Amino acid sequence: MLVASTILTCLTLAMALVVGRRVRVWLRFRGDSVVRCPENHRPAGVRVDAWHAPVKLRLTACSRWPAKAGCGQECLAEIAAAPEDCLVRNIAAKWYRGKRCAVCGIEIGASEWGPSQPAVILSDKNTVQWKEVSADVLTETLESALPVCFGCHMANRLVREHPELVTERNSPR
């Protein structure tokens, strides 16, 4: 009975280690990434098959597909070397760090990263949440955009989508 209990304990521990490693790797690779495509040296938005990443890295999506779906996926070397640096959410978080809202001046801090995501002001003066920007154009969008807090983004969106609900008043100086 003691031998069976010991074997069961060892098997349970081994399974916990395997599952724990798989979950850690999944957390590391999940989400959209930006890589430099080896073929044209331009940014491409990709998604890694995070669940199978402990066994083999492979893509499940790429902004260059279906036209280039048969590629050799050489861009995976960039992700394997620095997966955290390629993740869109990390690129955005790094860009927002230390920045203030271009409209109200409030600092966009870590507290903004819940369900209420910060946004950017595009060249046409419209605001979009950073997660609505396609991964393959994220880098060049952030180069020309201004940061906006969630509150100002929602106000801008309300004015843009429902101007009949908005009354503009001149504020006293």
For position 145, what pLDDT does the model report?
Answer: 92
Burial class of residue 169 (count of CB atoms within 10 Å of its CB; 0-12, 13-18, 19+): exposed
Owner of token pair 């902004």: 63
For position 68, what pLDDT does the model report?
Answer: 84
Residues of the chain with pLDDT under 50: none
Nearest of 91, 89, 22, 29 to residue 61 by alpha carbon: 29
CA distances for 143 relative to 14, 78, 95, angstroms: 47, 22, 9
pTM: 0.74
Domain boundaries, the chain: 2-82, 88-165
Backbone phi and psi for residue 129, each to the nearest 5 degrees, phi listed first: -70, 145
DSSP state of 46: E
For position 173, what pLDDT does the model report?
Answer: 52
For position 171, what pLDDT does the model report?
Answer: 59
For 119-133, the three-class secondary structure string (H helix, E strand, C coil) is: EEECCCCCEEEHHHC
Instruction: Decide: 58 and 49 in contact? Cβ < 8 Å.
Output: yes
